[in-house]
Amino acid sequence: MNAPVITTQRLTRRFGDVVAVRDVSIDVPRAAIFGLLGPNGSGKSTLIRMLCGVLRPSEGDGRVLGVDIRRDPEAIKRRIGYMSQRFSLYGDLTVRENLQFYGRVYGLDDRRQHERQDAVIELAGLSPYIDRLASRLSGGWKQRLALACALIHEPEVMFLDEPTAGIDPVARRELWDLLFALSHRGVTMLVTTHYMDEAERCTHVGYLYLSRLIAVGRPVDLKSDPSVTPRGTRHVEVECADPTAALARARALDGVRDATLVGNALHILLEETRDEPWLLAAVAAGDRSAGVRPIAPTLEDVFVLLSRAQQAREASS
Amino acid sequence: MNGFLAILLKEFAHIRRDRGTIFFAFVVPVMQLTIFGYAINVTIDDIPMVILDLDGRQDSRALVEALCNTQTFRVAERVHDHDRFRRAITAGRAKVGLLIPPDYAEHLLRREQATVQVLIDGSDSQVATTAMNTVALLVNRLAAGRARAVVEALQTGPARDEGGEVAPPIEARARLLFNPDLESSHFFVPGLIAIILQIVLIFLTSFSIVRERENGTLEQLFVTPVGRTGLLLGKLAPYVIMAFGELLIVLVVMVAVFGVPIHGSLLSLIGLSSLFILTALGLGLLISTLAATQLQATQLAYVIMLPSVLLSGFMFPRSEMPLAIYALSFFLPVTYYVEILRGVILRGADLIDLAPNIAGLLACCAAILGISLLRFRKQLD
C-alpha cells in the first residue's frame, strides 16, 4: 500500500481568463500531513475544492483514494472529511444535534451513529458542551466541533482549509495535537495554513505562489535544496539595534544574495567569498551589541527565496 | 434522495428555534387578512355634503332627506351664502355640494322643470363616481314618482304593472350574483390567499437556502454525499407543509370570520393550490440561485412581490391596464391563481371553466421550476 492517497497531475483550474491553479502535481502518501502554504489568492482553496469534488478541474487529472475526481466526485465525498476556514456549522443547533445531522447525512445507522458520536466527542473533548448551542461556543471549541463533525463518518482523508485561522495559540496547539493523533490512526490530511510553525510540523509541505506550486517536499529536504542554498553561499543571521536600516544597507551590498527581516534579526544569504566580520562592519558599523552567526535556513527562508526567484522568472519571461 | 431525512429533520429544528419564521408564517398572514378584510373598505358611504338651501320649504327639505336616506351621503354642513358653500368644498369639509334655488318649489307647483345644482369634488375618482351615480339615480326616482302622480290623475299612462299601478314602460330587474351585498371582503379575501402563500413561500424558501450559502454550510453540504434531490426536497418539504397549514388557516378565517362561502369544489381548490405552491416554491428556489446574501434575496423577492400585488388583478382590474402592463401580467403565476381562487370560491367554477387559467399556471410552474432546477447545482462554480 505505497500508492499515494492523493495524487494530481498538472491539475489546472481557470475562472474565465484567470488561472487560479496552474499545473499542480502532488503526491500525498498515507497518514501524511501535507501542509499547503501560499499567499491569499494563490489558489489553495481552489485546489482543495477540486480535490473534494465540488469544483471541476479545467485541465489535468487527480485521484483521491484511487477515485478519479472528474469521473466520480460523489464516491470521493463518502470517504473524505472537509473542514473549511469559516465556521460552517449550524449555530442554532446544539453540539449533539450538529453531530447527529452530519451522521445522518453520511447515512450512519443508529448503532454506528452512537459509536462514532461517542468516539469523536471523546477525541475532540466536547463532552462538557454536548447540549450547548454551537453559536455559543468559543472560537477554538467551534473548530473542534467542526473537526468532530467532519470525522463522524471516519473518513480516510481530511481536507482542512485554514483550520486554525483566528483562534488563540493554546487552541491552535491543541487542534494540531488532534491532527497528529489522527495521523497516527492512518488518516491522511491536507491542510492549508499561513503559520510557518504549523508548516514546520507537517510531514510534507507545498508552496503555492501565483497559482503555481513552486516548492513541494518534506521540510528537511526543502531546506537542504541546492536552489535554497546555491553552491558558494551560506545562511547567516545578523542581530543588531536597528535591523530596518541594516536591511537597506545589506541589500545594497555586493556579495549579499538575499536579505530578509525575521523578527528582530536579518536572515542573509551570503557568498562564501565574504566573511562574517566584513558583513557586520558593512551593515551595523559602530553597533557594539550587534552579532552574527551561521544558521540553517528555515522554511520561511525557503519560501521567500523561491518566490523571489519565481517572481524574477515571471518578470523576465 | 441521499440525506433527505437528515436535511428535513434539521430544517424542522431550525424552524422550531427561529421565532421569526413562525411569526412570519402564521402571524403575518392573519395581519394581512385583517387589513384587507376589514380596513380596506371600498364600498363608499357617508360622503360629507354641504347644503345651500335657498328655498327652504317642504319640497326642498324632502329632497335633502331623500339624499341622506340613501346612506351614501350625510349632511356635513348647512350654509346660507354662496361663498361659504364653495369654501366648504375647497377646504375639503364636504365632497359634495347641493344648491337648491329659491324658486324650486314654485317650479314644481307650476309643473315647470326644476333644477338643482350638484357640485362634486372629482379629486377622488371613486368617491366622485359613487356620488354622481347615486344623485342621478335618486333624482330620477323622485322625478318618476312625481310624473306618476300626474299620470295617475289623468287616468291614463305609458304602462301598468301586475297590480294595475302606473309604471315606467321598461324595467330592468338586476340581480347581483355571487356577492349580493357587494362586500369588498368577498372580493379581496380569496385573492389574498394567493398573495399570502406567495410571500411566505418565496421568502422562507429562498432565505432557508441563501442563509446556508451565507453561513458557508451549503459549501460544507456540497462536500458530503447528500444528493441534489435529497438536499432540495429536504429543504423545501417543511415549507410546503407550512404553506398547506396556512392555506387551511386562511380558508377557515375566510369562511368563519368573513362569511365568504366556498361555492366550488374544495378538492379542486386544494389541488390547484398545490400547483401554485409548487410554482411559488420554484420562485423561491430561483431567487436562492441568484442571490448570494439574504439582503439580495429580499430585494429580488420584492421585484416579484410588487407586480404580483399590483398587477395580478388582486387589487385592480386587469382589463383597465395599459396593453404593455396587461401583457406583463400574463407572466405572473399569481394572476392565474387569483382568477382560479375567485372562480372556485365565489362563482363555483369547475375545472372546465378555469381551463385557460390552469393552463397558464401549469406553464408558469414548468418554466420556473425548470429554470431553477437547472440553475441549482451541487457544485461551486
* Long-range Cβ contact pairs of B312-320 (< 8 A, separation 24 or more): B312/B191, B312/B194, B312/B338, B313/B191, B313/B338, B313/B339, B314/B188, B314/B191, B314/B192, B314/B194, B314/B195, B314/B338
Interchain CB distance below 8 Å, A91 and B5 = no
Q: Are A154 and A117 in contact (CB under 8 A)?
A: no
- Best interface-test mutation with B: which of A80, A104, A136 has the largest number of B CBs within 10 A? A104
φ, ψ of residue A143 to 5 degrees: the values are -65, -35
Interchain CB distance below 8 Å, B220 and A107 = no
Asked if A86 reaches chain B (Cβ–Cβ under 8 Å), the answer is yes
d(CA A243, CA A256): 15
d(CA A95, CA A133): 6
Model confidence band, residue B41 (pLDDT cutoffs 50, 70, 90): low
Domains and CATH numbers, chain B: 4-40+185-375 (no CATH), 47-154 (3.40.1710.10)
Q: How many CB atoms lie within 10 A of CB B186?
A: 21
Using CA coordinates, name the residue in chain A closest to B17: A92
Q: Are A113 and A103 in contact (CB under 8 A)?
A: yes
Q: Residue for cell digits 495554513?
A: A193
d(CA A279, CA A229): 18
φ, ψ of residue B310 to 5 degrees: the values are -85, -35
pLDDT in tens, B305-318: 999 988 888 888 88
d(CA B6, CA B4): 6
Tell whether the model's pLDDT for residue B47 goes beyond 70. Answer: yes
Q: Residue for cell digits 355640494?
A: B97
Model confidence band, residue B206 (pLDDT cutoffs 50, 70, 90): very high
CA B91, B95, B101: angle at the middle one, nearest 5?
Answer: 100
Q: Which residues pair with A34 in a beta bridge?
A: A190, A204
Facing B220 at nearest CB: one of A56, A88, A106: A88
d(CA B351, CA B376): 33
Residues of A in contact with B215 (CB under 8 A): 86, 88, 90-91
Collect all residues with Cβ–Cβ distance below 8 Å to B315 and sequence separation of at least 6: B309
For residue A205 the three cell numbers come to 509541505
Interchain CB distance below 8 Å, A54 and B14 = no
Q: Are B379 and B210 in contact (CB under 8 A)?
A: no
pLDDT value, residue B379: 57
d(CA A262, CA A237): 9
Q: Are A266 and A247 in contact (CB under 8 A)?
A: yes
d(CA A264, CA A167): 25
Interchain CB distance below 8 Å, A101 and B221 = no
Q: Where are the beta strands (DSSP E) in chain A?
A: 6-15, 18-24, 27-28, 33-37, 59-64, 67-68, 80-83, 157-161, 188-192, 204-209, 212-217, 233-239, 256-262, 265-271, 291-294
Residues of A in contact with B223 (CB under 8 A): 52-54, 77, 80, 82, 159
Interchain CB distance below 8 Å, B225 and A102 = no
Tell whether the model's pLDDT for residue B56 goes beyond 60. Answer: yes
pLDDT in tens, B223-273: 898 888 889 899 999 999 989 998 998 899 888 888 888 999 999 999 999
Per residue of chain A (317 residues), give pLDDT as tens: 568 999 999 999 999 999 999 999 999 999 999 999 999 889 999 999 999 998 999 999 999 999 999 999 889 999 999 998 777 889 999 999 999 999 999 999 999 999 999 999 998 999 999 999 999 998 889 989 999 999 999 999 999 999 988 788 888 999 999 999 999 999 999 999 989 889 999 999 999 999 999 999 999 999 888 888 888 899 999 998 888 989 999 999 998 988 988 888 999 999 999 988 899 888 888 888 888 999 988 898 899 888 888 888 888 87
Asked if A90 reaches chain B (Cβ–Cβ under 8 Å), the answer is yes
For residue B307 the three cell numbers come to 407586480
Interchain CB distance below 8 Å, A80 and B381 = no
Tell whether the model's pLDDT for residue B381 goes beyond 60. Answer: no
Asked if A49 reaches chain B (Cβ–Cβ under 8 Å), the answer is yes
Using CA coordinates, name the residue in chain A closest to B377: A54
Report the mean per-residue pLDDT for chain B: 87
Collect all residues with Cβ–Cβ distance below 8 Å to B199 and sequence separation of at least 6: B28, B305
Q: Chain A to chain B, count of Cβ pairs less than 8 Å apart?
A: 72
Residues of A in contact with B378 (CB under 8 A): 54
pLDDT value, residue B40: 64
What length is written for chain A?
Answer: 317
Q: Which residues pair with A261 in a beta bridge?
A: A266
CA diameter of chain A = 75
B56 torsion bin: left (phi>0), alpha (psi -120 to 50), beta (else): left
CA distances from A7 to A31, A51, A190, B204, B260 (A): 14, 9, 12, 42, 69
pLDDT in tens, B141-194: 888 888 887 777 777 667 777 777 777 777 777 777 777 766 777 888 888 889
Interchain CB distance below 8 Å, A92 and B17 = yes
Facing B18 at nearest CB: one of A15, A87, A92: A92
Residues of A in contact with B221 (CB under 8 A): 105
Interchain CB distance below 8 Å, A102 and B18 = no
Q: Are A50 and A7 in contact (CB under 8 A)?
A: no
Q: What is the ipTM of this complex?
A: 0.83
pLDDT value, residue B163: 75
3-state helix, strand, coil in chain A (%, to 5): 40, 25, 35
Residues of B in contact with A56 (CB under 8 A): 379, 381
Asked if A77 reaches chain B (Cβ–Cβ under 8 Å), the answer is yes
Domains and CATH numbers, chain A: 6-222 (3.40.50.300), 229-296 (3.30.70.100)
φ, ψ of residue A271 to 5 degrees: the values are -75, 145
Interchain CB distance below 8 Å, A56 and B381 = yes
Q: Residue for cell digits 392573519?
A: B30
Interchain CB distance below 8 Å, B224 and A77 = yes
Facing A78 at nearest CB: one of B17, B221, B225: B225
Measure A47 CA to nearest chain B CA, in Å. 13
For residue B131 the three cell numbers come to 356620488
d(CA B97, CA B156): 38
pLDDT value, residue B338: 94
Residues of B with CB under 8 A from a CB of A: 2-3, 5-7, 9-10, 13-14, 17-18, 215-217, 219-226, 378-381
